Chain A
Amino acid sequence: MSSDIEEYIQLIIKNAEKEAQKILEEARREANKIVEDAKKEAMEKAEKRAREILESIRSRIMDEKLRRFRGEKAKLKKSIVDRLKEKLLSEIENRIRGRGGVDYGDMLYRFIREAALELGSDELIISANSKDLEFIKSRLNDIRRRLKEDIGIDVKITLGEKIDVIGGITVRTSTGDKAYTATLDSLVEQVISKNLTKIARHLGLITQRRFRELIHMLLSRIDRPIEIDDMYGEKISLHPCEEIHFVETENGRIDAICKSEGRITAIYATLGRATKEKIEAFLGAIESQLPNTDPQKIFIAYSGPEETVKEILKKNNIALLTRKELFQLDQRIGARIFVE
């Protein structure tokens, strides 16, 4: 009996200890949850504030950089387009002054005919530079006769004032309510403006990001294995890509990784020149992103290579494509991305 009581007492204590243990465990669990919830809350608040701060830093720095960069880039682009206009106007002048096989007289007649049709008037006042005014004056009867034959209107033509253009005409009706411009100067503006995308791609007046997209587009147009020569006459095999992607690493970037039936081609594509620094960054990115794969390496430098890079390219088995080779590839696969 005495032993039963002892056992019962032990049981009471044991149960109490178990209960106490349970209470403590529950408390520890709850305490843990309180601390974890607090950590989570603190992290959420901190993340939100940090995001706001970083966004403000980012937009301040980026806005400043972008504004400066865009301003400088716009100036440079304008100077290139101005150089282009100048060259184009000079070439046009050569051609219309009889050195390029262009029948400028016929061109002027076509401008006048278009003006008559466009303005729908039988009385036109034509302005042009002094040479062209003289030319029109000397052929006035002939022009009127041709207009009557071509469009059936007997047009009375009056010569207007001299204007400072390289060629072409401006025409207005005698009442002055309608006008038509067909100067070579305005034609140059129009032609450049209409072909600006083509010009920008051909000259590389695009962003680096757009250039990368165009290279991806070019690679995606390869539908059969082809072999091309790089700048140094080395052969490169290109195959249709199953997937193309871009990677940016701490060491550098790979603008295009083309995977095709187990072959990997890694491409660096810059609008600028091939320099030692860029090549090293390219190799660093390959080492970190494509270890043990020994990919075919291609460096595209739209502005050509620096003189000193040939050795480093050869040593690392990197093929080099400049604008010329890229245009050849474009034409070969009929992509018409950089050249017509």
Chain B
Amino acid sequence: MSFAAAIKITMAEKKAREIIKKAEEEAKKIIEGARVQARDITSEDRISKLVDELVEKRRKELEKQLDFLELEYDEEFERLNSIMDEELGEIVQMLIKVIFGEQ
């Protein structure tokens, strides 16, 4: 191998090392950037915001559940408020049979 060729190869190897070094530095930066991003994501501030969003979103579901429950309560009250004497009379006849043994 000629001297010139040896120099060319050495220079190419140097360039190769530089390429790899540059990639490694870039990789470090990428990972460091991700860590910064991760710290931000898991920061108290961001989690609190997330909590607020979740609570707000599910509060609506909760309100729907409560509306549903309230509707059912209203229906129960409608019934309690609409019992007529005639209906009580049916029960009275049933209980009279029990009391006086008229089966």
Contacts A38-B37, A42-B42, A50-B55; is A203 near B19 (CB within 8 Å)? no
Q: How far is A57 from B12 in the complex, measured between Cα atoms in Å?
A: 69
Asked whether A9 lies within 8 Å of B9 as measured between CB atoms, the reply is yes
Give the most central of B15, B54, B64, B99: most A CB within 10 Å.
Answer: B99
Contacts A65-B69, A203-B87, A272-B75; is A23 near B5 (CB within 8 Å)? no
CB distance from B62 to the nearest CB of A (A): 6
Q: How far is A8 from B2 in the complex, measured between Cα atoms in Å?
A: 14
Contacts A34-B34, A46-B51, A207-B72; is A27 near B27 (CB within 8 Å)? yes
Asked whether A12 lies within 8 Å of B88 as measured between CB atoms, the reply is no
The closest CB in chain B to the CB of A10 belongs to B12
Stretch at the interface among A76-84, A111-119, A173-181, A288-296: A76-84
Contacts of A83 in B (CB 8 A): 85, 88
CB distance from B93 to the nearest CB of A (A): 8
Contacts of B33 in A (CB 8 A): 31
Contacts A38-B37, A47-B54; is A95 near B96 (CB within 8 Å)? yes
Asked whether B91 lies within 8 Å of A199 as measured between CB atoms, the reply is yes
CB distance from A170 to the nearest CB of B (A): 18
Q: How far is A107 from B51 in the complex, measured between Cα atoms in Å?
A: 72
Contacts of A73 in B (CB 8 A): 76-77, 80
Q: How far is A43 from B49 in the complex, measured between Cα atoms in Å?
A: 11
Q: How far is A60 from B24 in the complex, measured between Cα atoms in Å?
A: 56
Taken residue by residue from 60 to 103, chain B's Cβ proximity to chain A (1 for < 8 Å, 0 otherwise) reads as 00101010111011111111111101011111101110111000
Stretch at the interface among A85-93, A120-128, A130-138, A227-235: A85-93
Contacts of A62 in B (CB 8 A): 66, 69
Interface range, A side: 35 or more
Asked whether A202 lies within 8 Å of B91 as measured between CB atoms, the reply is yes
Contacts of A65 in B (CB 8 A): 66, 69-70, 73
Asked whether A46 lies within 8 Å of B82 as measured between CB atoms, the reply is no
Contacting residue for B23 out of A5, A20, A34, CB 8 A: A20
Contacts of B94 in A (CB 8 A): 195, 198, 202, 340
Interface check A302, CB cutoff 8 A: yes
Total interface residues in chain B, CB < 8 Å: 66
Interface check A158, CB cutoff 8 A: no
Contacts of B78 in A (CB 8 A): 270-273, 303
Interface check A242, CB cutoff 8 A: no
Contacting residue for B85 out of A19, A87, A209, CB 8 A: A87
Taken residue by residue from 262 to 273, chain A's Cβ proximity to chain B (1 for < 8 Å, 0 otherwise) reads as 000000001111
Interface check A309, CB cutoff 8 A: no
Q: How far is A73 from B77 in the complex, measured between Cα atoms in Å?
A: 7
The closest CB in chain B to the CB of A19 belongs to B20
Asked whether A21 lies within 8 Å of B79 as measured between CB atoms, the reply is no
Q: How far is A42 from B40 in the complex, measured between Cα atoms in Å?
A: 10
Asked whether A54 lies within 8 Å of B100 as measured between CB atoms, the reply is no
Q: How far is A198 from B75 in the complex, measured between Cα atoms in Å?
A: 20
The closest CB in chain B to the CB of A199 belongs to B91
Interface check A287, CB cutoff 8 A: no
Within 8 A of A (CB), among B30-44: 30-31, 33-35, 37-39, 41-42
The closest CB in chain B to the CB of A15 belongs to B16
Across chains A and B, which 8 residue pairs bring their CB atoms closest together, nearest first?
Answer: A272-B78, A27-B27, A20-B23, A16-B16, A31-B34, A38-B38, A50-B54, A46-B50
Q: What are 8 residue pairs bridging A and B, where the CB atoms are less than 8 Å apart in the complex?
A: A13-B15, A13-B16, A21-B23, A23-B27, A57-B62, A87-B85, A248-B68, A272-B79
